[in-house]
Amino acid sequence: MKSTRPTPPPRLGVHVSIAGKLSGAVENAEALGCTAMQIFSRSPRMWSAKALDPDEVSRFRGLREKYDIKPAVIHASYLINLATPEGGLKRRSVEALIDELDRADRLGVEYLVVHVGSCKDGGAVEGVERVREALAAALSSGRWSTQLLLEDTAGERGDVGARLEEIGMILKGLPGGERVGVCLDTCHLFAAGYDITTPVGVERVAGWVERAIGQDRVKVVHGNDSKKGLNCRVDRHQHIGLGGIGLEGFRAWVNHPAFREIPMILETPKDTPEADPRNLITIKNLRRHERSE
């Protein structure tokens, strides 16, 4: 009889609150049984940020090592808009992105996720060009051990990056772009019109990802169901299985060869204390080779 060594299950975690302390976030992730995690390193809705406390930085690094929670992801500030036509906001956005990269690097975090951006004046082509300029400016100003990931958007008014091709266009030939990867959000994909509710749909989307971006560039998946329907173009996260994507969609996603090994972070609602554990178990139970009760 041939013995087969069990492969470790793909990495799975949730966005955890830092509630004042970065090290507390690692403890919370560990308590939930996470093997990956995401945090904000600063208030995501304020331009100013408190400096990192060196003791907290080393506690954060030490605990993550101890619990083997990897990767850790920092979600960048929501104020950052790399697609804006407005000069002041663009400058602030580039500065804030560099600051986020500096912080992520000090914390020893693997990835920094940033939304591609939005331009109120519409034009995706101009938006793509502006994102490229802003990214090139940020990337030319330093080197970080943390990898920057661009996240696809839901296609709300003015959003750049709702089409996979737009993300591909941003990355193609971008100076420093070889250092940039992608984070795909299942809710955003679905809201932007990508039907991932069936195995056939997920297979089709996997093909588009490969053609537009390249599968190996996708480093993290945000696993969220969508409150609204296909192509709704609004970004409202729902518990896994209870939204428009549904259990069958997630079953197809977590078992598809293109996506099953990619670390998944849930950003599902935290309306009750049971919400995170329940959503994590739902994902585990959908995986064909991993079941927990």
Candidates 163, 237, 239, 251; catalytic one: 237
Rounded least distance, CB 236 to Zn ion, Å: 8
Catalytic status, residue 290: no
Rounded least distance, CB 56 to Zn ion, Å: 25
| CA–CA dist 125, 140 (Å, integer) | 23
Candidates 61, 132, 188, 251; catalytic one: 188
What would the two tokens of residue 83 be?
């697609």
Q: Return the number of the residue (235 or 276) whose C-beta is nearest Zn ion.
A: 235
What x-and-dash track marks residues 224-253 binding Zn ion by CB under 5 A? -----------x------------------
The answer to whether the beta carbons of residues 191 and 226 sit under 8 Å apart is: yes
Q: Hey, is 86 helix, strand or coil?
A: coil
Candidates 42, 75, 103, 251; catalytic one: 75
Catalytic status, residue 15: no
3-state SS of 124-183 is HHHHHHHHHHHHHHHHCCCCCCCEEEEECCCCCCCECCCCHHHHHHHHCCCCCHHHEEEE
Helix residue ranges, H only, 192-274: 199-212, 246-255
Q: Return the number of the residue (61 or 115) whose C-beta is nearest Zn ion.
A: 115
222 binds Zn ion (CB under 5 A): yes
Catalytic status, residue 115: yes
Helical (H) or strand (E) element with 187: helix 186-191
3-state SS of 96-128 is HHHHHHHHHHHHCCCEEEEECCECCCCCHHHHH
Only segment of 24-32, 139-147, 212-220, 222-230 that touches Zn ion (CB under 5 A): 222-230
185 binds Zn ion (CB under 5 A): yes
Catalytic status, residue 105: no
The β-bridge partners of 226 are 237
Rounded least distance, CB 224 to Zn ion, Å: 6
152 binds Zn ion (CB under 5 A): no
The answer to whether the beta carbons of residues 209 and 196 sit under 8 Å apart is: no
Rounded least distance, CB 154 to Zn ion, Å: 6
Interface residues with Zn ion (CB under 5 A) are 185, 222, 235
Catalytic residue numbers? 45, 75, 78, 115, 151, 185, 188, 222, 235, 237, 267
